[in-house]
């Protein structure tokens, strides 16, 4: 059932763009096939369903995200440096998987209700634990303000970073690292001139 990995990758990239633009429920196999320039029946040579396609798109994205996050979390960095590295890694993943991030944002809650996509909820718990744990460690170490509401801070940073997938375009004016630096400056140092 599997063909050349390059062609499979191209088809998944096309499917990801269509899912991101149209939404999972509104996307048909025919629409993906049209976007890929092939007959709908030919797409079934590569994938048994649109569910399989979105599953592979999301699991690939999350596996790569966690490979990077796990490396950051295992590096023994201080809390601020860990936050900086996690934000930078997040922007690298948005650069690599912009459409998958958009699908995840729109569809994860709905898809996670299906047994096949249970890993989405597991990943969300792991994600929250990593970020909250780092923020709590930073407060305890006196690196972050003692009055910081870590849950609210986590939500703010998470949403501020990941919403970038809605406007970010790979190969644009700024690299993922440059955008991460600007975001981190605003999040960690604020935007007001210090007196």
Per-residue confidence (pLDDT) for residue 2, from 0 to 100:
47
Token pair listed for 32: 């993906």
What predicted TM-score, i.e. pTM, was given to this entire model?
A: 0.90
Please list the ranges in the chain whose pLDDT falls under 70.
Answer: 1-3, 195
Per-residue confidence (pLDDT) for residue 171, from 0 to 100:
86
Give Cα separations from 42 to 2, 18, 19, 35, 64 (angstroms): 12, 17, 19, 13, 29
Per-residue confidence (pLDDT) for residue 1, from 0 to 100:
45
Per-residue confidence (pLDDT) for residue 3, from 0 to 100:
53
Per-residue confidence (pLDDT) for residue 151, from 0 to 100:
96
Query: Which among 31, 19, 29 has a CA at the least distance from the CA of 101?
Result: 19
């Amino acid at each position: 059932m599997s063909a050349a990995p390059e062609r499979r990758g191209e088809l998944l990239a096309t499917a990801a763009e269509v899912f991101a633009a149209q939404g999972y429920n509104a996307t048909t196999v025919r629409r993906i096939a049209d976007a890929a320039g092939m007959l709908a029946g030919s797409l079934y040579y590569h994938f048994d369903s649109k569910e399989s396609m979105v599953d592979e798109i999301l699991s690939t994205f999350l596996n790569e995200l966690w490979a990077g996050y796990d490396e950051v979390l295992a590096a023994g960095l201080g809390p601020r440096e860990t936050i900086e590295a996690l934000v930078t890694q997040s922007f690298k993943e948005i650069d690599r998987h912009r459409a998958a991030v958009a699908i995840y944002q729109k569809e994860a809650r709905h898809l996670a209700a299906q047994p096949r996509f249970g890993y989405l909820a597991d990943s969300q718990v792991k994600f929250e634990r990593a970020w909250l744990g780092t923020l709590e460690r930073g407060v305890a170490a006196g690196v972050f303000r003692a009055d910081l509401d870590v849950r609210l801070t986590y939500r703010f940073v998470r949403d501020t970073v990941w919403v970038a997938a809605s406007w970010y375009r790979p190969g644009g004016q700024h690299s993922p690292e440059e955008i991460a630096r600007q975001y981190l400056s605003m999040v960690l140092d604020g935007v007001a001139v210090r007196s």
